[in-house]
Amino acid sequence: MVAVKIKLISTLVLPLFATGCVSTGYSFKDAGFAESSAKSAEATGKQTVWVQNRQHAEQVRERVKALMSKKTIDVETAVQVALLNNKGLQASYADLGDSAADAWQTQLAVLPSFSVGLSGIGTPGLEAYRVLEGAIAANILALATYDKNMKLAETRFRQAQLNAALASISLAAETRVAWINAVAAWENVTYLNQAKATADAASDLAKKLGEAGSLPKADQAREHVFYAELAGETAKARLAAKLAKEELVRLMGLSGSDVEFQIPNRLPSLPKALINRDSIEAEAIQKRIDLQVARLELDATAQAYKLEDVTRFVTDIELVGMVEQERELEDGKIHRNISRTGSLEFTIPIFDSGQARMRKGELAYMRAANQLAEKAVNVRSEARSAYLAYRSNYDIARHYRNSVLPLRKSIEDQSLLTYNGMITSTFELISDAREKIDATMLAVNAKRDFWIAEANLAPVIYGGSTGSAAAESEVASAEAAPAGGH
């Protein structure tokens, strides 16, 4: 006799076998990265790539190599290299893959488990008896809450897509600001080097005049100390400029010989006209990705709250059906005997009516709602502040360019004429030269602040941050490179 015993679950499980599993609409490896990349491209105008295998890595290396082959790296090239080559950004994309895997696991959670076994006895000359057992079981509560669980998993997945786009936008903004800071630092030092060369010549002349008895020792000392102080300021500025470039190197993900690239030693001139952003508040409310993430968080909290309502009294249900079929061979004929039984198993948390979990769900929802409201208020304020900084820094930079610097140059020219005519003292000439240096560096920094404010417009509209690189740096300077870059 051969007996077969099978445990069957409710027919609710059968459609899952027919369809396999529910599709998310994305390939498992892509994990919806294409949509995330499209969102970041809208804000940055640059391409992003998720490196997942050796072939991808080789393609990225070739692309970065081609971009870095330029004689001088401009800001757009720096941003594109960072988006392709920064390993921290690649690590953040793994969160998107994790979320896709969680959604996939949620689909698989409702599939039944299957087991099979074989046992039997037999004696020569007697009838053989074999038992083949198979079991299929699934959690009915998981089936009942499947739609809600899938909606929650899809919401988390969409959040992960948006967060991946935010990481790309943030890196692009940080790189852009780091490039601006580095170039501004080298521009300051370029001017300091020129001023130091002039001061060196003046110091040598003062020494010769002193030896000839034509210049008092006090005036000689003023010339010498002016050159010495200027040399110290130049060295300090050069160090700051090199550190600013290293910040850019880190964001671009470069190492080895790649760090020897050059950047310009002068920031771009101010634009002739400003970008019109009169509706920047509405634009930010519509496009801010972090605001969309907050909205999804509210949706996810509401969905989780509904799940708590469904499972507030029962935490686990399992429906088991059993069909037993016996086959016996007797006198050359097969005799079948079929019997059916069924049972329902469920777990109730003792002394837990679910009220505490429901209350926590209500509080979580209110927390998410208030955070979303606060975020909306902050987004509007940040948009106004960013555009105000953009316009104001433009006016300040133009004021230095059109008014302060021409006046300082005029003062320096007149001082030199009167000094040559023995009317102005050495001390007055040095004082005017030092004030011109200060004014020039202030003008460079004003231009830097404008370009940083311009770079911050994209993050304030689309989301993301400029990180530590956005903070105003101290006046940085460095020695000018022979080829016009560093």
The torsion angle over the Cα atoms of residues 163, 166, 171 and 177, rounded to 10 degrees, is -150
What confidence category does residue 450 fall into, taking pLDDT thresholds of 50, 70 and 90? very high
Q: 10 Å Cβ neighbour count for 66? A: 9
The string of DSSP codes covering 364-430 is: HHHHHHHHHHHHHHHHHHHHHHHHHHHHHHHHHHHHIIIIIHHHHHHHHHHHHHHHHTT-S-HHHHH
Answer yes or no: are the C-beta atoms of 82 and 48 closer than 8 Å.
Answer: no
Task: Express as a percent the part of the chain with pLDDT over 90.
Answer: 31
Q: Tens of pLDDT along 272-317? A: 989 887 789 889 999 999 888 888 888 888 777 765 554 444 444 4
Q: 10 Å Cβ neighbour count for 178? A: 30
> What is the average pLDDT score of the chain?
74
Summarize the confidence of residues 40-69 as an average pLDDT: 92
With a cut of 70, say whether residue 55 has pLDDT above it: yes
Answer yes or no: are the C-beta atoms of 115 and 138 closer than 8 Å.
Answer: no
Looking at residue 189, its pLDDT comes to 92
Summarize the confidence of residues 212-230 as an average pLDDT: 70
Summarize the confidence of residues 119-126 as an average pLDDT: 48
Nearest CA-CA partner of 16 in 133, 150, 155, 118 = 150
What confidence category does residue 213 fall into, taking pLDDT thresholds of 50, 70 and 90? low
What confidence category does residue 269 fall into, taking pLDDT thresholds of 50, 70 and 90? very high
Q: Tens of pLDDT along 420-430? A: 555 455 556 66
Looking at residue 467, its pLDDT comes to 57
Phi-psi region of 41 (alpha: psi -120 to 50; beta: other; left: phi over 0): alpha
| SS3 at position 197 | helix
With a cut of 80, say whether residue 190 has pLDDT above it: yes
Looking at residue 431, its pLDDT comes to 65
Summarize the confidence of residues 214-240 as an average pLDDT: 78
Angle among Cα 321, 322, 327 to the nearest 5 degrees reads 155
Q: Tens of pLDDT along 389-425? A: 999 999 999 999 999 989 888 877 776 666 555 545 5
Please tell me which residue, 175 or 102, carries the higher pLDDT value.
Answer: 175
Summarize the confidence of residues 254-260 as an average pLDDT: 85
The pTM score is: 0.73
Looking at residue 270, its pLDDT comes to 94
Q: Tens of pLDDT along 19-44? A: 334 344 445 456 678 888 999 999 99
Summarize the confidence of residues 87-104 as an average pLDDT: 79
Calpha distance 360→364 (Å, rounded): 6
Looking at residue 14, its pLDDT comes to 38
| SS3 at position 266 | coil
Residue 346, CA atoms < 13 Å, CB-side half-sphere: 11
Non-local (6+) Cβ contacts of 410 within 8 A are none
- Tell me the pairing of strands 2-8 and 129-137: parallel
